[in-house]
Amino acid sequence: MTSPVVRFAPSPTGKLHVGNVRTALINWLFAKGQGGRFILRVDDTDTERSTQEYEDQIRADLKWLGLVWDDSFNQSHRFEKYDAAAAKLREMGLLYACYETADELDRKRKIALSRGRPPVYDRSALNLTDEEKAKLEAEGRKPHWRFKLSGDRVEWTDLVRGPQSIDTSSVSDPVLIREDGSYLYTLPSVVDDVEAGITHVVRGEDHVTNSGAQIEIFKALGGSAPDMAHTPLLVDAEGGAFSKRLGSLSMDTLEARGILPMAILSLLAKLGTSDNIEVREDLGMLAKEFDFSKIGRAPAKFDEKDLLSLNAVLVHDLSFSAVRDDLERIAPDAANEAFWLAVRENCETVHDAKPFADIAYGSIKSVIDDEDADFIAEAQKRLPEGELTSESWKAWTSELKEATGRKGKGLFMPLRKALTGQEHGPDMAVLFPLIGREVAARRLSRA
């Protein structure tokens, strides 16, 4: 197989979320697994909504994830290319002017549906005379431009969905140029794919019908349509629509929450595939394991619980040097190796260390039950002298067990609650020395 050339084409009108990143990742894994190239194409033809801030954020997010591109370009720098392609299609009689307003088109659709017909554009604009067009333009109307589909059946073998067929007589001629002269996605995408030598278009299954029209545009412009792969869309854990929640799952938001890149990538690479969802060490391993044949047809369910579980696996293995900067930012007093090694297995993200930092170096509200008051008083009397070490907890609790007859939960839980204010947390044997004798004595006294 020729080394693939793929592209990821975000619009800089918003932030990258997990849905976008899944598409970028699948493209990247496929290309790199085959020794190919990954191109970043910035789809900024919507000059009013596109911003440099969003573009910069998209590039920063992709770099943070490790999805580095081999080449990049902006569509806004290529309008003359699209103008030339549009002129060619006009000369061929395949791009025609239409003057209906949005209300008029909506009315046509409703009438067609009421008569039991599909709401396909009726091509009435093709029957307009030059005089009629001039009259409409004199009224202030500006045309939008549609591509004239052949009416034939377009077929291709999709790398995910298998044999696909679109009857172009059953869909409306797509609008390529709006009334204001701006381009929709369809034509610029084809022009760019031809010029960039894109061999495979990999995107969501919501583009399947659109692909039928684009294949005809490829042929009209003298190019060959790339191979296609349309992947199932993401849904939430209950199988519902995901779009409303994507904002909270943007890359900058996940990064701010302490989610690690390989947790995101490992989950998105395996969602909806026959592989188990497990953490991988790097993108290279994910690329070796990637195969379109593993992707199922059912919607891919994204559950934040899975993301946190994978993140926890990674966090539990992080060295102190890897988290030093984060700890210094969120809990400066706790930025030491002993603390991190004591608490990391209780953290899903590095940020989860903050409450434990308060336990070890800050202030807490000690909580005990009334029936444990005498036991805590006895524990205070028998608190080990001198500096607490890793052996102090065992020695202290063994002495208390002997003196009071308490054991198991009745022995350990009151001590944990008095010293940490919590019923659960890191191993007390390693937390005890971090708290220190002076603070431990004070907390036992207050309890």
User: In this structure, is residue 210 part of a structural domain?
Assistant: no
Which residues, 6+ apart, have CB-to-CB distance to 266 below 8 Å?
A: 277, 278, 279, 280, 286, 310
User: In this structure, is residue 85 part of a structural domain?
Assistant: yes
User: In this structure, is residue 223 part of a structural domain?
Assistant: no
Task: List, as one string, the DSSP characters of 129-176.
Answer: -HHHHHHHHHTT---EEEE---SSEEEEEETTTEEEEEEGGGSPPPEE
Is 92 in the same domain as 56? no
When divided into structural domains, the chain yields a total of: 4
* Residues 399, 407: Cα–Cα separation, whole Å: 11
Is 347 in the same domain as 292? no
Is 339 in the same domain as 300? no
Is 374 in the same domain as 341? no
User: In this structure, is residue 190 part of a structural domain?
Assistant: no
Q: Which residue has the tokens 């444990």?
A: 372
Domain boundary residue among 144, 159, 177? 177
CATH code of the domain in which 246 resides: 3.40.50.620
Is 85 in the same domain as 106? yes
Interval 119-165: pLDDT, tens: 999 999 999 999 999 999 999 999 999 999 999 999 999 999 999 99
Q: What percent of the chain has pLDDT over 90?
A: 91
Residue 440's domain spans which residues? Answer: 370-446
Is 211 in contact with 201 (CB distance < 8 Å)?
Answer: yes
Interval 399-445: pLDDT, tens: 999 999 999 999 999 999 999 999 999 999 999 999 999 999 999 99
Q: What per-residue confidence (pLDDT) applies to 367?
A: 80
CATH code of the domain in which 143 resides: 3.90.800.10
* Residues 442, 179: Cα–Cα separation, whole Å: 75
CATH code of the domain in which 383 resides: 1.10.10.350
Is 60 in the same domain as 104? no
Whose CA is closest to 32, among 65, 6, 58, 10?
A: 6
Is 148 in the same domain as 116? yes
Is 48 in the same domain as 102? no
Is 87 in the same domain as 161? yes
| Confidence category of residue 247, pLDDT binned at 50, 70, 90 | low
Is 331 in the same domain as 402? no
Whose CA is closest to 65, among 8, 140, 122?
A: 8
Report residue 74 as tokens.
Answer: 């902006």
User: In this structure, is residue 243 part of a structural domain?
Assistant: yes
Q: Quick one: DSSP state of residue 207?
A: G
